[in-house]
Amino acid sequence: MKILIIEPPAVSIFGNQRIFGGNGSNKSDFRKPPLDLMMMSGYMRKEGFDNDLLDANASRRSIDDIKEVIKNKIPDVIFFSTSTCTIYKDLLVAKVAKEVNSSIVTVAVGTHVMALPHDTFAESEYLDVIVYSSEWEETSLNVLKNISDLKNARGIYLRKTSGEIIKTDIQAPVSDLDMLGFPAHDKLERDIYGDPTSKRSPKSIVMGQKACINNCSFCCQPAFFGAPVLRKRSVEHFLEELKWVQDLGFQEVMFNDATLTADLEWAALLFEGMIRNKIDLTWNCSTRAERVNPEILKLMKKAGCHTIALGMESVDSTVLKNIRKNIHPEQIREAVSLIRKNGMNTVLFCVVGFPGETRKSIEKTISFLKTIDSTFITLGIAVPAPGTDFFRHIEENNYLLTRDWSRYDPMKRPVFSYPELSADEILYYSTYGLRQFYLRPRYIFNRVIAIRNMSDVSKNFNNFVGFMKRYVIHSRT
């Protein structure tokens, strides 16, 4: 059986996010390996199903390029990822596949199709299967094992030849993540990935845990992947993967865990293992402000960490309560200070436009950001992803302006408007806040004096050019 796994082409010139519910165009020169597809590919291979993996997003291939690949390989099955704002273009993968050979089985994965399976089938006559289970690896294997009679494959919606859509039995969660094997790091082009925080290349991506310990109303993790029930790989298994990644020639990784230090004991064992095994990888990660302390930060730094991202969203108490963020601004301030004191950079993920937002609350958040020493921030526009509580709130209160999914991008004008805060105002504040933060003389001065070598010069120049293209030259309408 020939199997082809595809990350579809980018819709934006900046590339797109699709991984595990990611959505929107990238904010800068950011090319992230498709970890969800890599995990599917690696598990299939482990179970005896060889496959090809193609990332058309990061490699900037077109849909015509995809069609040529399909013509050359003539696969029996194609799996492809989707996201809300790219769904119309993503479904072209199924179309060109059927144009090449109508017998190719086309399978879509992603949180958008999980939330709206019937709408998606109606959108594309060329789509055969939608994975609704959050266990994408096991469900994709079910498809392959039952390819001759797909109604026996657990965790999918299936379009029968009659046109009838059926939902098969649910796929139980995988309790032992070690059984999934390693993501297919060796199947992608090595030298095309990186982001503004990267220190070295080539760079890959890893993950040691599934789900998240929080239950934010806007996030796809609790809506689709079972948060706050956290499942962890064994430290030993994870270390073996990191050794393999290093042996493949990678010099840096991104930890894709929603909260890498959710379990401080597990995290400490991981970092100690990296140090003990002399794993020479630099890396960045995400966590929550209350899940860092001086002891764990010292271990992280020694194990190769250079950048830690924290979810802040807002500093307004009403907004934070409405989105169930369970964080206090002073925890953010303290965490940023601790991280910087331990010699690492910080990224703060901030968003404008959540329920309860006002002009005053946005201005308060922007003012707060200017008082702390974060290396980077993001200030995207809230996107109500289908299937989340945030989407239901926006829809039920008649705040929604459009169901044109291509508009559901945090870099574009909001798809909703509040009586007290318009879509245009939210868009304005997003760009205004970023300019206020990044174009401060003090910030620019601190970036300049932090330069240590020509690599830093190149990185800072590229980041500045990317910022100007994204927030000054290009329109965000």
pLDDT tens, the chain, 477 aa long: 999 999 999 998 778 888 877 777 776 678 999 999 999 999 999 999 999 999 999 999 999 999 999 999 999 999 999 999 999 999 999 999 999 999 999 999 999 999 999 999 999 999 999 999 999 999 999 999 999 999 999 999 999 999 999 999 999 999 999 999 999 999 999 899 998 889 999 999 999 999 889 999 999 988 888 656 789 999 999 999 999 999 999 999 999 999 999 999 999 999 999 999 999 999 999 999 999 999 999 999 999 999 999 999 999 999 999 999 999 999 999 999 999 999 999 999 999 999 999 999 999 999 999 999 999 999 999 999 999 999 999 999 999 999 999 999 999 999 999 999 999 999 999 999 999 999 998 988 888 888 877 777 777 777 776 666 666 665 667
Check: CB of residue 226 under 8 Å from CB of residue 211.
yes
- pLDDT at res. 460: 73
Q: What is the CATH number of domain 3-167?
A: 3.40.50.280
> Residue 225 contacts by C-beta under 8 Å, 6 or more apart in sequence?
20, 21, 134, 210, 211, 212
DSSP string of 152-166?
GSTTEEEE-TTS-EE
Q: Is 208 left (phi over 0), alpha (psi -120 to 50) or beta?
A: alpha
Which of 196, 252, 204, 254 shows the shortest CA–CA distance to 376?
A: 196
Q: Is 370 left (phi over 0), alpha (psi -120 to 50) or beta?
A: alpha
> Residue 170 contacts by C-beta under 8 Å, 6 or more apart in sequence?
133, 154, 155
Hunting for tokens 């082009």 — which residue is that? 189
Listing from the earlier edge strand, what are the strands of the sheet with 203-206?
203-206, 252-255, 282-287, 305-313, 345-352, 376-381
Which of 84, 119, 123 shows the shortest CA–CA distance to 391?
A: 84
- pLDDT at res. 449: 84
- pLDDT at res. 476: 65
- pLDDT at res. 192: 93
298-304: long-range contacts (C-beta < 8 A, 24 or more apart)?
A: 298/342, 299/268, 299/271, 299/272, 299/275, 300/261, 300/271, 300/342, 300/344, 301/342, 301/343, 301/344, 302/271, 302/275, 303/270, 303/271, 303/272, 303/274, 303/275, 303/279, 304/274, 304/279, 304/280
Q: Which amino acid is at 234?
A: S
Topology of domain 194-473, CATH: pyruvate-formate lyase- activating enzyme (3.80.30)
Helix or strand (DSSP H, E) at 198: none
- pLDDT at res. 462: 72
Q: Quickly count: other Cβ atoms within 10 Å of residue 294's Cβ.
A: 10
- pLDDT at res. 159: 98
Strands 156-159 and 105-109: unpaired
Burial of residue 8 (CB within 10 Å: 0-12, 13-18, 19+) is buried
- pLDDT at res. 227: 59
**Please, what is the Cα angle at 189 between 32 and 74, to 5 degrees?**
110
Check: CB of residue 390 under 8 Å from CB of residue 324.
no
The residue extents of the domains of the chain are 3-167, 194-473
Check: CB of residue 323 under 8 Å from CB of residue 350.
no
Strand intervals (E) in 146-220: 156-159, 165-167, 203-206, 209-210
pTM of the model: 0.94
Distance CA 285, CA 289 (A): 13
Hunting for tokens 């002891």 — which residue is that? 295
Distance CA 309, CA 25 (A): 19
Which of 286, 288, 290, 362 shows the shortest CA–CA distance to 319?
A: 362
Check: CB of residue 424 under 8 Å from CB of residue 39.
no
Strands 252-255 and 52-55: unpaired
**Please, what is the Cα angle at 115 between 317 and 230, to 5 degrees?**
60
- pLDDT at res. 27: 65
Check: CB of residue 183 under 8 Å from CB of residue 38.
yes
Check: CB of residue 378 under 8 Å from CB of residue 317.
no
Distance CA 334, CA 328 (A): 10
**Please, what is the Cα angle at 182 between 110 and 75, to 5 degrees?**
55
